[in-house]
Amino acid sequence: MNILGIETSCDETAAAVVKDGRTVLSNVVYTQIPLHVPYGGVVPEIASRAHVEKIHEVVGKAMEGQTVDAVAVTYGPGLSPALIVGLNAAKGLAKALKVPLIGINHIEAHLHTPFIDTEYPIEVPALGLAISGGHTCWIDIEEYGKYEIIGQTLDDAAGEAFDKAAKLLNLGYPGGPKVDKIAKEYGLKNLIPFPKGRPRDGVTALSGLEAELCVSFSGLKTALLRYVQKCGGAEALEKAGEIPRVVASYQEAIVQAVAERTRSALKRRRYQAMIVGGGVSLNSRLRTVLTETCAEARIPLRMAQPKYCGDNGAMIAALAYYRRNHVEDAFTLDVNPSLEVGE
């Protein structure tokens, strides 16, 4: 069964055709990053306009020479004006092709990416980690479609924490890949002991979640800001050749925070596998540390190939194959910018 997946939740206009939830037949991603660079972040109106301009070309390329048995589309979470473009295009296309339309949750799709173009078995119960520019959460996956958030960030997502630090240090947007590269070259010597993302004592915003499974990056961000100010600003740090050490220390604080919560989550129950998805799972240090963490816990770690870590249509089409019998008819669906995992 060939499913066309359409994704426009943020700053990538993407479409792909995937066979039986696993094999990618086509995968087209148009990234708008250069359009948002001057603003240091995604501007929803610019994103929406660019999606409108590109969606037909991207979908057309993905469909070239393919037969399509169903259309799947992200309907949340994400930027409302961006999501609308994809959902409307998908509705029109599914009607024209006379095939079913399947609405997909973007975060759940990220969690399916390790299975794309691989032969990993789908093992449950699994511990999921969705780690991107908008999300950082640990998810108990009882079975496909049965998810429970067991831990999350109380403020910024990990990707946001990377992007904000990069902005403060004048490294450009998006910050994650830049931080990763600089930190890798620098290594782990003589790091600054930044706070490791522990929620402050007495924090009440855990919505019933255990503090052990939650992270907070606001303290880390403030610590970085204070450090930069103490050193006389980003330019002074640059002149002193100190940026790589600061960047590597900051990245290590995020990675260790994520690893620590992951270790706590893995102790909760006997998981069959750990599944990681989202743009930040591209981070090379995070990949190394999570590999070690899962090896210690003797649990297989499933991570996506780098080309499926960022936003793409293949993950939407792939998950749709497994969810096709369990979702409502998406012709009546509206976008849901704050859709939760498991909703």
Choose the contact partner of 310 out of ligand KG4, Zn ion, none; CB within 5 to 8 A by kind. Answer: ligand KG4
Query: What does the block give as tokens for 331?
Result: 């012709």
* 58/247 with CB nearer Zn ion: 58
Q: How far is CA 107 from the centre of its chain?
A: 7
Output the smallest distance, CB 341 to Zn ion, in A. Answer: 12
86 binds, among Zn ion, ligand KG4, none (CB under 5 to 8 A by kind): none
CB of 251 to ligand KG4, least distance (A): 8
Q: Which does 29 bind (CB under 5 to 8 A by kind): ligand KG4, Zn ion, none?
A: none
Comparing CB distances to Zn ion, the nearer of 135 and 302 is 135
Give the shortest CB-162-to-ligand KG4 separation in angstroms. 5
Partner whose footprint covers residue 313, from Zn ion, ligand KG4, none (CB < 5 to 8 Å by kind) = none
Closest CA to 309 of 124, 174, 188, 166: 174
Q: What's the min distance (Å) between Cβ of 311 and ligand KG4? A: 4
Nearer to Zn ion by Cβ, of 3 and 10: the residue is 10
Q: Write out the residues near ligand KG4 by the rule CB under 6 A.
A: 10, 132-134, 159, 162-163, 174-177, 180, 278-280, 282-283, 310-311
Nearer to ligand KG4 by Cβ, of 2 and 75: the residue is 75
| Shortest distance (Å) from residue 305 CB to ligand KG4 | 14
Q: Which one, 108 or 252, has the nearer CB to Zn ion?
A: 108
Residue with Cβ nearer ligand KG4 (252 or 311): 311
Quick one: what does residue 237 bind among Zn ion, ligand KG4, none, with the CB cut-off 5 to 8 Å set by partner type?
none
In angstroms, give the least distance from the CB of 301 to Zn ion: 20
Choose among ligand KG4, Zn ion, none what residue 219 binds, the Cβ cut-off being 5 to 8 Å by kind.
none
Amino acid symbol at 7? E
Q: How far is the CB of 107 from Zn ion (least distance, A)?
A: 7
- Residue 103 contacts which entry, ligand KG4, Zn ion, none (Cβ below 5-8 A, type-dependent): none
Summarize as ranges the residues that interact with Zn ion (CB under 5 A): 132, 311
